[in-house]
Amino acid sequence: MLLIECPWCGPRAETEFSYGGEAGITRPRDPDALSDAEWADYLFCRSNPRGNHRELWNHAHGCRRWFGVERDTVTYRISRSFELYPAAVPETDAALQSGPDNSNGGD
């Protein structure tokens, strides 16, 4: 059982959450302009790293908010959680694409 830190609710049991896959995948602005290979890459291809992984979680049975988690895929150790939309006006792409060292989220 993972103990996951929700940015709003604090540490909660894994059973309260649902997993949302890799973080930072941005939907292409103009899908019609993509080749089939590029579209397939957006839809299906993920980095699947050995080690540090930025991923999305939803506190489904808690505050129902999406947030980001950095987890080591080998040890399962979670190093930090962060808000995806810390500003009142969400800047989706910027919040997702900027690196974890950026001051976008609280730990």
Residues that bind other proteins in the complex, under the rule CB under 8 A: 8-10, 12-13, 15-16, 61-65, 88
Q: What type of residue is 86?
A: P
Query: Residue 25 or 63: which CB sits closer to other proteins?
Result: 63
Residue 10 Cβ vs other proteins, minimum distance, rounded to whole Å: 8
Tell me the closest approach of the beta carbon of residue 83 to other proteins, in angstroms. 9
Question: Which residue number, 53 or 65, has a Cβ lying nearer to other proteins?
Answer: 65
DSSP assignment of 22-48: ES--PPPS-GGGS-HHHHHHHHH----
Token readout for 33 is: 């302009």
- Indicate the pairing of strand 10-13 with strand 78-83: unpaired
